Structure 1
Amino acid sequence: MSAASSLLSEDQFLCSICLDVFTDPVSTPCGHNFCKNCISEHWDMKDYCECPNCKKRFKRGPELQVNTFISEMVSHYKQSARQRASSRSEQQAAKPGEVPCDICAGTKLKALKSCLVCLVSYCETHLQPHLTKSGLKRHQLINPVENLESRMCTKHDKLLELFCRDDQTCVCMLCTISDHKAHDVVPLKEEYEGRKAELGKTEAELQQMVQQRQLKIEEFKQSVKVSRGNADRQIADGVQVLTWLKDTIERMQSEAIKMIETKHTLIEKQAKGFIRELEQEISELKKKSAELEQLSLSEDHLHLLQNLPSLDAPPPTKDWTEVRVRPPSYEGNLRAALAPLAETLTIKLKKLQPKTELKTARQFAVDVTLDRNKADPTLILSEDGKQVHHGDTRKSLLHGIPVSPSVLGKQIISSGRFYLEVQVKGKTQWILGVAKESVNRKGPITIDPQNGFWTVGLRNENEYYAPSVLLSLKSKPKKVGVFVDYEEGLVLFYDVDAADLLYAYTGCCFTERLLPFFSPSSNQGGHNSAPLIICSVNPPE
């Protein structure tokens, strides 16, 4: 019974007189149903009995009995209606930002679907006809959206179901025979699928951009981590050296003070000895003087003449004319005491800095290759662009003037840090460094910073130099490291094997792009035939 009543609508249980759900439903002989009280009052108002629906008259008033079947159906319907009302009250009311049901009276419930045909949004209860009635099932339902009116053509009041690719706008069917006639018009679904595919491609590109930036973040974090490690090592090394320096200075201060005080004590002791001698002589002289004065006052002729010979001679004294107390020179002693400190500190700094700096510099190693288009024609480059040597046993000449044949690297230095290593083993002459991209490498050019070159080199087999500077090296480098910090204006050269700093250009002001610079110098009849070799740099541990 409940199953049957759930399929009936409210209209089937309404009394046509009171227009409300039946109360004590009764059936007339003609088969129509009414509330017992409603039909009785209806007939009492008339002189005859007539069915309000079909107008059939009865000869006498029929005896009306409550139709138990219909009464039971009404009872089940009312119960079902109460349950639906209870379920409806439990449904979620639309929150701000959610699409409300357009049919609900009072509290607007959250819409589950919107109908593109009806242009109405429905909650769960009011959506049921679209799910059960065959005519409504054909309507297109979508996830709930607001402003369904915007889906209608404002000109023709028809559903926007097409897309004009020429004008890039949504149109209705009537638009295609008026304003958009002969335009490239496709169904919304077709354009939607195409645009969705494009969105997928764009989304993939955006995801790739996100990943690239995430990798960049990791790179920055790694740089910070490396910087922190380098800073900690520098701090530890600095604390070690400065602690040693502090202790050494305190010790040497104590020794210097002691040495100076010792010298002063010796001078003071010597002076005191001389003063004692002088005071003793003064006492003897004063005594002799007093005796002579006393004798001179005597009126006894015999007494004066008898005693005068013994008093007339002065007492024995030292000749003090050349005796001196000379203060020592303390300045020289202090300098001599501090000299070992300066020498030891210099040795410690030389041992400390290059190794640490070189390890840091190698983190910025770049894979460099030689540029054949920027090579002197007398030079021979290897196939991989990693080696170069002079191929002519004669000296290169330009307008009769000897020049050093050179080649530039392909890699551009315009920012950040840059490092490479070059093997110079077996060569008697060479020049390495960096140069401005615009330098003139032809003719009698002086290779120095004023002309755009920052280099070091070897000449005459044992003479290492930078422009106008001879370098004093402990050993001949076999591999030279070149480090550039563009923003800081630094160009540093290292003996890689010894981890020693060969030379440093500081305070440079780079205003244009730099390129690696290589000159193997002339062949010198085969004596300088060994090539310059660009080495691969293993990452630092």
Structure 2
Amino acid sequence: MAEASCQLSEYQFLCSICLDVFTDPVSTSCGHNFCRNCITEHWDTNHQYLCPLCKNIFNTKPELLINTFIREMVAQFRQSAQQKASSSSSEQQVSKPGEVPCDVCTGTKLKALKSCLVCLASYCETHLEPHLTTSGLKRHQLIDPVENLEGRMCTKHDKPLELFCKTDQTCVCMLCTVLDHKMHDVVPLKEGYEGKKAELGKTEAEIQQMVKERQQRIRNIKRRINSSRKNAELEIRDGFEAFTALIKIVEKTMNNLIDTIQDRQNAIEKQAEAFITELEQEISELMKRRTEVEQLSRSEDHFHVLQSVQSMAAVPPTKDWTVVRVCPQSYVGSVVRALAQLEEEQSEAVKRLFKSELKGVQQYAVDVSLDPETAHPQLILSHDRKQVYHSGDVKKTLPDKPERFSNCLCVFGKQSFSEQTTSLGRFYFEVEVKEKTKWTLGVARESINRKENIKLSPGDGYWTVGLRNENKYQANAARTVLLSLKSRPQKVGVFVDCLEGLVLFYDVDAAALIYSFTGCCFTEKVYPYLSPCPNDGGKNSAPLILSPVIRI
């Protein structure tokens, strides 16, 4: 009998009220078994004496009989279960700190595999078996083990929180919907969960998009840093070469100046030394004659004196030193002449440097054509979209599209550029301006106002230079900057570095920098911008020409 009882499953000894193994089992007159406390509390809280299983109604409170057979079987089962749990505890995982323990295990608590939202208890593998095999328990909702299952009960009505109030955004029980949340929008937990899950999915997608955008920004920043580092290395190298060349020119000019001065000084000193040597020779001859004269004047021999004085009377022949001059040299003007020569050589060196720089930016040349959809109605474009000029008073009838310039005599390039669309965010193009008396060109951002006359300035989205009144060149900065150019540009090169925020204008033929905009902020696409300016009665009829870049 004992061996047979050990083979029985736990669900055969479960109270149908508390769903736990019988404690002090008793039987009703209808033959069903319950825990004494469970059936007693059940009858105390109900108006009828009703059997929870067969629904049999008793007129008077039935007498409860102790079921000794069930009690012995439960005792044997508990002992067997404890032995089984003891033997299997080594195989199952013991609950560790931070893990949910089994609520049924006595002694050593094993790790819970599931929690029941109906029983409000967590079970290990052994004690979970009834929920997997008993038909009544199979309907219970099992979830991954969680702590504080009591928190899933309504504190006010002691009922499971199985509904969700969308109005108050809180979990509620069945009684709450009748009392505190009457007329509220209440849905089952699953429906509320699915709605929140959809919101969380949307939030997750938004967060993921934000993460991607920031990751892209990090990549852009790193790319800019790498680009800046490469630019810095190139500039340092070019700067080192340029200033080394200038230093060599300065050293050469300085050495030439020193050599010239020293050569002149050496020549003077050599001439002076020759004069001194000659003077010393004459002094020696004169001293010798003076000695002879002195000796002769002391002689008492009348005959000898008279015979010798004739030959010594005359002074030895000497040079007329009154006409000989050794003047200190004045080197005034030598340094000025050297500096003038230095300036000329430096100018040539700087020109070579600008030529080298222009050659460097020409590698970013792009093919640009004009966009007729943006051209002012009085502008004429060539068939190849490379030339533009003002027609005079003739105004074509064209649809006033948002992209068309209405008041300004200008046109955009067809191609747009940004840091993403070009190599390292850089591009370069050239425009012929010869034979024109007025013109404006450069780049402009996409969102500029195309319908009104506005100031050409970086703050309004324009980075341009131009010619006004034949020889008045200007850069259209926040304040107009008048430019002093050594020569009249025939072809203007435009270089843009979106990453570095640079717009540079070059006189291509002279290989000279015209003007540079720095610290520019390009947050959107930019377009080549050309304005041939008014025809001016034919004086300014020549076109602006987008010319192919011929590398120097």
Q: What is the TM-score normalised by the length of structure 1? A: 0.65
Deviation string for 1:184-207 (max 9, x for gaps)? 111111111122122222222222
Q: Report the Cα offset of residue 144 of structure 1.
A: 1.1
Task: Report what 2:277 is aligned to.
Answer: 276
Opposite residue 532 of structure 2, the aligned amino acid is P
Whether contact under 8 Å (1:428, 1:459) holds in the other structure is: no
Whether contact under 8 Å (1:408, 1:515) holds in the other structure is: no
Opposite residue 529 of structure 1, the aligned amino acid is S
CA RMSD of aligned residues (A): 5.5
Q: Report the Cα offset of residue 500 of structure 1.
A: 2.5
Q: 1: CA distance between counterparts of 2:349 and 2:197?
A: 68
Q: 1:210 to 1:486 in 2, by over 3 A?
A: closer
Once the two structures are superposed, the pairs formed by residues 241-252 of structure 1 within 5 Å of their partners are: 241=242
Once the two structures are superposed, the pairs formed by residues 143-162 of structure 1 within 5 Å of their partners are: 143-162=144-163
Task: Report what 1:471 is aligned to.
Answer: 485
Q: Report the Cα offset of residue 99 of structure 1.
A: 1.6
The answer to whether 1:390 aligns with 2:401 is no
Deviation string for 1:64-115 (max 9, x for gaps)? xxxxxxxxxx999988874543213321122232222222223322111111
Opposite residue 500 of structure 1, the aligned amino acid is A
Task: Report what 1:455 is aligned to.
Answer: 465
Q: 1:10 to 1:240 in 2, by over 3 A?
A: closer
Whether contact under 8 Å (1:165, 1:183) holds in the other structure is: yes
SS class of match (1:317): coil
The answer to whether 1:481 aligns with 2:490 is no
Q: 1:247 to 1:425 in 2, by over 3 A?
A: closer
Q: Report the Cα offset of residue 312 of structure 1.
A: 3.8
Q: 2: CA distance between counterparts of 1:121 and 1:75?
A: 24
SS class of match (2:193): helix
Whether contact under 8 Å (1:393, 1:526) holds in the other structure is: no
SS class of match (1:318): coil
Q: 1:368 to 1:230 in 2, by over 3 A?
A: farther
The answer to whether 1:500 aligns with 2:511 is yes
Task: Report what 2:49 is aligned to.
Answer: none
Q: Report the Cα offset of residue 233 of structure 1.
A: 2.8
Deviation string for 1:296-333 (max 9, x for gaps)? 55677776666555444322221122322345556766
Q: 1:380 to 1:526 in 2, by over 3 A?
A: same
Q: 2: CA distance between counterparts of 1:309 and 1:76?
A: 172
Q: Report the Cα offset of residue 129 of structure 1.
A: 1.5
Q: 1:114 to 1:356 in 2, by over 3 A?
A: farther
Deviates more, 1:200-209 or 1:243-252: 243-252
The answer to whether 1:428 aligns with 2:441 is no
SS class of match (1:89): coil
Q: 1:118 to 1:210 in 2, by over 3 A?
A: same
Q: 1:277 to 1:442 in 2, by over 3 A?
A: farther
Unaligned runs of 5+ in 2: 14-65, 69-74, 395-406, 419-424, 475-480
Q: What is the TM-score normalised by the length of structure 2? A: 0.64
Q: 1: CA distance between counterparts of 2:257 and 2:442?
A: 46
Q: 2: CA distance between counterparts of 1:360 and 1:313?
A: 88
Task: Report what 2:234 is aligned to.
Answer: 233
Deviation string for 1:443-470 (max 9, x for gaps)? 9x999x9xx997343765xx58446544
Q: 1: CA distance between counterparts of 2:359 and 2:150?
A: 72
Whether contact under 8 Å (1:129, 1:136) holds in the other structure is: yes
Task: Report what 1:528 is aligned to.
Answer: 540
Q: 1: CA distance between counterparts of 2:83 and 2:188?
A: 45
Q: 1:371 to 1:309 in 2, by over 3 A?
A: farther
Q: Report the Cα offset of residue 504 of structure 1.
A: 2.8
Deviation string for 1:226-272 (max 9, x for gaps)? 22332333344344445556667667766665555443332222111
Q: 2: CA distance between counterparts of 1:393 and 1:178?
A: 83
Unaligned runs of 5+ in 1: 13-52, 56-73, 395-403
Once the two structures are superposed, the pairs formed by residues 63-142 of structure 1 within 5 Å of their partners are: 82-142=83-143
Q: 1:435 to 1:125 in 2, by over 3 A?
A: closer
Opposite residue 465 of structure 2, the aligned amino acid is T
Aligned length: 457
- Identity among equivalent positions (%) equals 48
Task: Report what 1:178 is aligned to.
Answer: 179
Q: 1:357 to 1:210 in 2, by over 3 A?
A: farther
Q: 1:256 to 1:282 in 2, by over 3 A?
A: same
SS class of match (1:124): coil
Q: 1: CA distance between counterparts of 2:216 and 2:545?
A: 34
Whether contact under 8 Å (1:393, 1:522) holds in the other structure is: no
Q: Report the Cα offset of residue 276 of structure 1.
A: 1.1
Q: 1:302 to 1:3 in 2, by over 3 A?
A: farther
Q: 2: CA distance between counterparts of 1:215 and 1:486?
A: 15
Q: 1: CA distance between counterparts of 2:548 and 2:143?
A: 63
Q: Report the Cα offset of residue 366 of structure 1.
A: 13
Q: 1:235 to 1:8 in 2, by over 3 A?
A: closer
Once the two structures are superposed, the pairs formed by residues 314-463 of structure 1 within 5 Å of their partners are: 314-328=315-329, 343-353=344-354, 355-356=356-357, 359=360, 389-392=389-392, 407=410, 421=429, 423-425=431-433, 427-429=435-437, 430-432=439-441, 455-457=465-467, 460=470
Q: Report the Cα offset of residue 520 of structure 1.
A: 1.7
Deviation string for 1:319-355 (max 9, x for gaps)? 1223223455567667767766665554344333454
Deviation string for 1:370-427 (max 9, x for gaps)? 9999x99966689999975323169xxxxxxxxx9765979999xxx99764523555
Q: 2: CA distance between counterparts of 1:258 and 1:310?
A: 52
Whether contact under 8 Å (1:494, 1:500) holds in the other structure is: yes
Deviation string for 1:481-521 (max 9, x for gaps)? 15589998x7631145x5933323589999xx999875423
Q: 2: CA distance between counterparts of 1:305 and 1:232?
A: 98
Q: 1: CA distance between counterparts of 2:220 and 2:294?
A: 106
Q: 1: CA distance between counterparts of 2:507 and 2:10?
A: 99
Q: 1: CA distance between counterparts of 2:384 and 2:162?
A: 63
Q: 2: CA distance between counterparts of 1:10 and 1:116?
A: 18
